Amino acid sequence: MRKTILPKTKQVYEKYPNDLKIIQNVLLCLESVLEKLERPMIIEEVLPMLYDSAKLQDPDIILRVVRK
């Protein structure tokens, strides 16, 4: 899972950093797989994406980031 889903999710996130709908879907995907990831993977891969997402001003994105 971490070798297939997370890299593809990160790739989509990096390709469309300003598309709010896609970012929301990426965050939804991360939310689904978060419990299955190991701590180092979360620290190295997921947290930077969440930090970048939190910089956006859209309330739906911010809510998705801080909800978990």
Domain boundaries defined on the chain: 5-67
Could you tell me the pTM of the whole model? 0.72
Predicted pLDDT at 11: 92
Predicted pLDDT at 15: 92
Question: How far apart are the C-alpha atoms of 63 and 21, rounded to whole Å?
Answer: 14
Each residue's pLDDT tens digit, 2-39? 678 888 988 998 999 888 888 888 888 888 888 888 88
Q: Do residues 33 and 63 touch, judged by C-beta distance below 8 A?
A: no
- The residue written with tokens 């989509």 in the block is 12
Each residue's pLDDT tens digit, 37-56? 888 888 888 888 878 776 76
pLDDT at 62 over 70: no
**Spatial CA neighbour of 23 closest among 40, 37, 63, 68:** 63
- Cα distances from 18 to residues 42, 51, 53, in angstroms, run 22, 14, 10
